[in-house]
């Protein structure tokens, strides 16, 4: 069963009840799913204007489902809904989500990658120090030849 998170931004010029009623057909699709939870983040300023709007109602929906057609239908309905300014659907089971933190193969790969990065950083630091030492020696040599 896949875990999903959907963030939905609804037109902020509407009052809360109107905004919720405008997206009620979207919510009906997913509210029957397992572990359904909604988080209302309230009316917030948008980072930039979307369709001329500067505010938006933010809602986050978390749920689990095996039926991927629900996600496709949700996406279709969101695109038809004029009140929905933006939406983001994340499958938390994919490699960038929840499953990546419990997958032994991915953990091992990231540890190897981190070790290589540290080795590269050490090599770069050693090279930098040797260059600084060479520059200091060169400066001492040129200083000595200028004094003569």
pLDDT at 7: 95
High-pLDDT (> 70) share of the chain, % = 90
CA distance to 117, 133, 134, 148, per residue, from 143 (Å): 39, 15, 14, 9
| 89 three-class SS | strand
Instruction: Check whether 118 has a pLDDT greater than 60.
Output: yes
Beta bridge partners of 60: 7, 39
**Alpha-carbon distance 133 to 131, whole Å?**
5
Higher-pLDDT residue of 96 and 33 is 33
């Amino acid at each position: 069963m896949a875990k999903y998170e959907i963030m939905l931004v609804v037109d902020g010029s509407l009052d809360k009840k109107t905004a919720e009623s405008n997206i009620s057909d979207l919510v009906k699709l997913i509210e029957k799913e397992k572990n359904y939870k909604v988080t209302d983040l309230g009316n917030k300023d948008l980072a930039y204007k979307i369709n001329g709007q500067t505010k938006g109602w933010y809602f986050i929906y978390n749920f689990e489902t095996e039926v991927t057609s629900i996600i496709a239908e949700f996406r279709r309905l969101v695109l038809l809904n004029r009140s929905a300014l933006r939406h983001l659907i994340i499958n938390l089971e994919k490699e960038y989500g929840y499953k990546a933190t419990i997958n032994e193969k991915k953990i091992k790969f990231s540890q190897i990658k981190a070790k290589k990065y540290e080795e590269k950083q050490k090599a770069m630091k050693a090279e930098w120090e040797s260059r600084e030492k060479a520059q200091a020696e060169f400066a001492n040599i040129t200083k000595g030849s200028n004094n003569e």
